[in-house]
Amino acid sequence: MDLFEVLMGSGKNREEHQDYVNRYEQGPAWEGYSDQEVLDRYDSVAHKVSPREYEQATREAFDRLSPEERAEFSRYLEERAGTRNIRIPPRETGAEGGPGDVDWLSKITGQIHQEPGAFRDMMGKMGKAQEDPSGGLGGLLSSPIAKAALAGIGAMLFKRLLSPK
């Protein structure tokens, strides 16, 4: 049994995964599914692919976001890394290395992902209010851009698995 069969399971599971990908591609990246579904789908596939496949999926997901949304996610990622004492290289400045740079975001996300659960935890745990240093509640429920990142990565991984080779 190969990875595809393990992840995709029965025909019904394939249809559910395809439906998730379709919903992701049809509207704003943070709408169309519950927070719990985003978390469950991401968890079911994120650590079952190679680092290269994961980074490619992040690139595809971040390409779907506008430059402004990528810049917002970049700031969010840096802020969350700082609160968890995770060192990430600084963003480069310039035309192609600005805060919305897909290459930088994909590389950093891939590096953080190497530690199982680290990226997901940085984005916040669903269903549990987490204290934020700013005094608010953190987590996916309060950040559409974090939800968009997890939803997008999961959807792009499933899309790759569903596509004929």
Using N-to-C axis directions, what is the helix angle for 35-45 and 144-162, rounded to 10°? 50
The answer to whether the CB of 123 falls within 8 A of the CB of 140 is yes
Task: Give the tens place of pLDDT for each residue, 74-129.
Answer: 988 888 888 888 888 776 665 455 667 899 899 999 999 988 888 888 887 533 43
Greater model confidence, 19 or 135: 19
Q: How far is CA 110 from the centre of its chain?
A: 10
Other Cβ atoms less than 10 A from the Cβ of 93: the count is 10
Q: Domain extents for the chain?
A: 11-162
Task: Give the tens place of pLDDT for each residue, 59-71.
Answer: 999 999 999 999 9
Most distant CA atoms of the chain, gap in Å: 48
